C-alpha cells in the first residue's frame, strides 16, 4: 500500500475508534443503569413514599415534585419563549438591537446551572419573598430553558417559506393574521420538539433547584405552589451522597426512573421531528 493510503487507513481507524469510544460509553451507562435499576422498579417503588430515612420504600413524592416543577417551568417559558421567537423571526430588523438580543440568548444558554440556582435564590426566594417553593423552583427552571425554547421555535418559524407570507400579505391580510393563520400552524412541529426537549432538560437538572425548592425529605405531597417538594434529580443526589447505607437497588432504581423519563422525552421529540420532516408538504 502506498504511503498516503496507509496514512488514510490509520487515520480512519482512529476516527472510527473515537466514535466507538463515545458510543460504547453511552451504551455502557445505559446498560448498567437498566440492568441494575430495572429490577428495583415496580409499582410499589413508584407509588410509595420513602421510608426508613429513604433507605426503603419508594420515590412517589419525588416523581410528583418533578412533574409540578416541569409543568411550572413550561407554563412560564413557553409563552414568553414563543413570543420572543416570533419577534426574532417576524419582526426584528437586521440591526444592533437584534444582535444584542441574540447575544443575550446565547449567554442565557451558557450560564452554568448552579449560577441559575444562585439567581433563583436571590431573586425569587429572597427578593420576591416566595421562599423555597415550587414557585421559585419553576420560575428558575423556566428561565433556564427559555433559550432552548426560543431557539427551537425561531428555527421552526424561519423554516416556513417566505413565499407563504408574501401570498398572505398580497391578499390583504395583516402581518399578525399572517403569523396566526399561516406561519404558526406550519411551525408547530418544531415548536413542539423544542418544548419537549425543554421538558427533558428541566426534569433532569439539579443545581437550579438545590436552593430554590428541593426538599431533602418531604413525604407529603405539596398543597400549594408555595410549598417545597422533593424532586427526582435531587433525590438521586441525596441518596447517593448524603444518606449512608441506602440499598444499591434503590439508588439504581431512582437513576433508572430519571434516566428513563429523560430518554423517553427526548425520544418522543426526535420521533416527532422525524415524522414531520417526512410529512412536510412543501
Please report, as residue ranges, which positions from 49 to 78 form the binding site for another protein (by CB under 8 A): none
Q: Which of 38, 71, 113, 159 binds another protein (CB under 8 A)?
A: 113
- Cβ burial, residue 109 (10 Å; 0-12/13-18/19+): middle
Q: Which of 44, 104, 217, 226 binds another protein (CB under 8 A)?
A: 104
The neighbouring-strand residues paired with 57 are 50
C-alpha span between 123 and 111 (Å, rounded): 16
Nearest distance from C-beta of residue 250 to another protein, angstroms: 12
* Residue whose C-alpha is closest to residue 140's, from 110, 111, 119: 119
Q: Which of 39, 112, 226, 275 binds another protein (CB under 8 A)?
A: 112
Q: Which of 220, 224, 241, 245 binds another protein (CB under 8 A)?
A: 241
DSSP string, 48-61: SPEETTTTEE--HH
Q: Which of 43, 96, 129, 171 binds another protein (CB under 8 A)?
A: 171
Instruction: Tell me if 248 sits within 8 A of 236, measured CB to CB.
Output: no
Instruction: Tell me if 81 sits within 8 A of 153, measured CB to CB.
Output: yes
- Closer residue to another protein, CB minimum distance, 223 or 282: 282
**DSSP 3-state of 31:** helix
User: Does residue number 31 form part of the binding site for another protein (CB under 8 A)?
Assistant: no
Nearest distance from C-beta of residue 15 to another protein, angstroms: 4
Which one-letter DSSP state was computed for residue 83? H
What does the block give as the cell for 205? 437538572
Q: Which of 50, 61, 72, 117 binds another protein (CB under 8 A)?
A: 117
Instruction: Tell me if 143 sits within 8 A of 108, measured CB to CB.
Output: yes
Considering only residues 126 through 155, tell me which ones interact with another protein, judged by CB under 8 A.
Answer: 126-127, 143, 146-147, 150
- Closer residue to another protein, CB minimum distance, 93 or 224: 93
- Closer residue to another protein, CB minimum distance, 32 or 46: 32
Count the residues of the shown chain that bind another protein, applying the rule CB under 8 A. 103
Nearest distance from C-beta of residue 221 to another protein, angstroms: 22
Q: Which of 172, 224, 244, 278 binds another protein (CB under 8 A)?
A: 172
Q: Which of 39, 91, 217, 226 binds another protein (CB under 8 A)?
A: 91
Q: How many CB atoms lie within 10 A of CB 16?
A: 10
Amino acid at each position: 500500500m502506498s504511503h498516503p493510503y496507509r496514512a488514510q487507513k490509520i487515520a480512519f481507524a482512529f476516527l472510527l475508534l473515537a466514535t466507538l469510544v463515545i458510543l460504547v460509553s453511552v451504551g455502557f451507562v445505559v446498560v448498567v443503569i437498566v440492568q441494575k435499576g430495572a429490577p428495583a422498579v415496580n409499582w410499589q417503588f413508584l407509588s410509595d413514599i420513602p421510608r426508613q430515612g429513604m433507605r426503603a420504600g419508594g420515590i412517589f413524592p419525588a416523581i410528583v415534585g418533578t412533574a409540578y416543577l416541569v409543568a411550572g417551568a413550561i407554563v412560564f417559558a413557553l409563552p414568553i419563549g414563543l413570543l420572543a421567537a416570533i419577534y426574532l423571526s417576524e419582526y426584528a430588523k437586521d440591526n444592533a438591537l437584534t444582535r444584542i438580543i441574540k447575544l443575550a440568548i446565547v449567554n442565557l444558554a451558557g450560564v452554568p446551572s448552579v449560577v441559575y440556582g444562585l439567581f433563583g435564590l436571590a431573586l425569587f426566594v429572597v427578593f420576591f419573598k416566595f421562599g423555597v417553593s415550587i414557585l421559585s423552583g419553576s420560575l428558575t427552571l423556566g428561565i433556564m430553558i427559555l433559550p432552548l425554547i426560543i431557539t427551537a421555535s425561531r428555527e421552526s418559524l424561519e423554516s416556513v417559506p417566505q413565499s407563504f407570507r408574501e401570498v398572505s400579505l398580497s391578499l390583504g391580510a395583516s402581518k399578525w393574521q399572517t403569523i396566526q393563520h399561516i406561519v404558526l400552524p406550519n411551525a408547530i412541529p418544531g415548536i413542539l420538539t423544542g418544548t419537549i426537549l425543554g421538558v427533558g432538560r428541566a426534569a433532569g437538572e439539579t443545581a437550579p433547584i438545590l436552593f430554590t425548592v428541593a426538599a431533602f425529605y418531604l413525604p407529603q405531597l405539596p398543597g400549594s405552589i408555595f410549598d417545597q417538594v422533593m424532586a427526582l434529580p435531587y433525590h438521586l443526589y441525596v441518596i447517593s451522597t448524603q444518606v449512608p447505607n441506602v440499598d444499591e437497588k434503590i439508588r439504581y432504581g431512582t437513576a433508572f426512573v430519571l434516566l428513563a423519563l429523560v430518554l423517553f422525552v427526548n425520544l418522543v421529540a426526535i420521533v416527532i421531528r422525524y415524522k414531520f420532516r417526512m410529512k412536510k408538504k412543501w
